[in-house]
Amino acid sequence: MSSCLFCEIAAGRIKAEIIHEDEGCLAFRDISPKAPSHILVIPRRHLDGLNDLVGPDSAAADGLLAAGVMAAHAEGLAPGGYRFVINCGQDGGQSVGHLHLHVLGGRPLAWPPG
Ligand code: 5GP
Ligand code: ZN
C-alpha cells in the first residue's frame, strides 16, 4: 500500500546497507554518496519531513539525532568530524518525502553549502 521509498526500505522490501538500527530509526548508506561516508537516517514511522517535527511528533527529532550520532560512531567518523544535513521541501532540495538526516564525512567538507 505504501509507495514511499524509505518506508519500503524500513520494511525491508527494498534493500539497503544498514549501518545502525534501533527501535525508532534506521541508518543506511546513501545509494549516490556525496562524500566518502554518506549515510541516511530515517524514523521507521513515516513523517514527511522537518515541518512535521512539531507538536506530538517533535520527540522524533531526539531519536533521529541520536541515531545519526550512533551511525557516525559506527562509521568511524566521530574522531575526525562529520556533518548532519536535513533538506526540507523544494527550496531545501528534498527529493524523498520521508524525513531523513544525511550524515556526511570522510573528507573535509566545504562551507557554506550551495
Ligand atoms: P534528499 O535529496 O531528499 O535530501 O535526499 C535523498 C537521498 O536519498 C539522496 O541523497 C539519494 O541519493 C538517496 N536515495 C535515493 N534513492 C535511494 C535508494 O533507493 N536507496 C538509497 N540507499 N538511497 C537513495
Ligand atoms: Zn515513508
Q: 69: domain CATH number?
A: 3.30.428.10
Which sign, positive or negative, has the C-alpha torsion 112, 90, 33, 21? positive
Residue 98 lies in a domain: yes
- Which of 20, 38, 98, 100 does the annotation list as catalytic? 100
Residue 112 lies in a domain: no
Nearest-angstrom CA–CA distance, 70 and 19: 9
Residue 47 lies in a domain: yes
Residue nearest to atom 12 of ligand 1 (CA): 32
Q: How far does the centroid of ligand 1 lie from the alpha carbon of residue 94, in Å?
A: 9
Q: In sequence order, which residues have a C-beta less than 8 Å from that of residue 86 and are 6 or more positions away?
A: 49, 50, 99, 100, 101, 102
Residue 73 lies in a domain: yes
Percent pLDDT > 90 in the chain is 96
Grouping H, G, I as helix, E, B as strand and the rest as coil, residue 36 is coil
Q: What digits encode the pLDDT tens for the residues 16-39?
A: 999 999 999 999 999 999 999 999
Residue 16 lies in a domain: yes
Domain boundaries, position 99: 5-105
DSSP 11: T
Q: Do 71 and 90 contact (CB within 8 A), yes or no?
A: no
Residue 114 lies in a domain: no
Residue 113 lies in a domain: no
Residue among 44, 16, 43, 49 nearest 30 (CA): 16
Query: Model pTM greater than 0.95?
Result: yes
Residue 111 lies in a domain: no
Residue 95 Cβ contacting ligand 1 at under 6 Å:
yes
Q: What digits encode the pLDDT tens for the residues 84-113?
A: 999 999 999 999 999 999 999 999 999 999
Q: How far does the centroid of ligand 1 lie from the alpha carbon of residue 60, in Å?
A: 20
What's the domain count of the chain?
Answer: 1
Q: For this structure, is 100 an active site residue?
A: yes
